[in-house]
Copies of this chain bind each other. A is one copy, B any other.
């Protein structure tokens, strides 16, 4: 074990605790929603994002996935970092740095009893979790502005109308049909198939271009 010139290891110096909090987002009822739960133990009863302390030999992604599993019984996909929340008074238990994460998953990986609230009409959350949800929504919205379906919420093949519906749900605003199609087409390739069994002219199916 490494020791400095005074004989102390890193852990001998007082240092902040580190937590992860995860804004788990999904699309339900044509709107972006975030999973919340009521805390037990400290700050019991308060609405909060799933979170946990980071263990000493754990990566942040592993801690984020563990928080999702332990608090809401969900297997996350690929949590991404947002930023560190470092207000010295943010947690009355002591000095805690919270690393906010976001993960976007399809609705069907969540149990029915997971609490969901729409990000644009959400109740107050405890700690600084409101700011985390705002940052999470902004993050996925920016990603969907750049790429057709970065989180892979649609399956292998989808129609342009299905993709537009997803984008409108994520962004929380309607999009102009023609412009939307022209933009995403550059990043898609047709599968050759069409969506049948629907009313109207059958729509071509596309996949993400490689």
User: Is the CB of A1 closer than 8 A to any CB of chain B?
Assistant: yes
Interface of A is mostly: loop
Q: Does A141 have its Cβ within 8 Å of any Cβ on chain B?
A: no
Q: Are A57 and B11 in contact, with the CB atoms below 8 A?
A: no
Answer yes or no: A27 CB below 8 A from chain B CBs: no
Contact across chains for B81 and A84 when beta carbons are under 8 A apart: yes
Q: Give the residue of B5, B16, B94 whose beta carbon is less than 8 angstroms from that of A9.
A: B94
What bracket does the count of chain A residues touching chain B fall in? 35 or more
Q: Is A93 in contact with chain B by the CB < 8 A criterion?
A: yes
Q: Is the beta-carbon distance between B86 and A84 smaller than 8 angstroms?
A: no
Chain A positions near chain B (C-beta within 8 angstroms): 1-2, 4-5, 9-11, 13-18, 41-42, 53-57, 59-60, 81, 83-84, 86-88, 92-97, 99
- Please report the C-alpha to C-alpha distance between residue A14 and residue B56 in the assembled complex, in whole angstroms: 6
Residue from B2, B9, B83, B97 in contact with A18 in the complex, judged by beta carbons closer than 8 Å: B97
A5 / chain B contacts, CB cutoff of 8 Å: 41
Q: Which residues of B lie under 8 Å from residue A9 when comparing CB positions?
A: 93-94
Q: Which of A59, A95, A96 has the most CB of B within 10 A?
A: A95
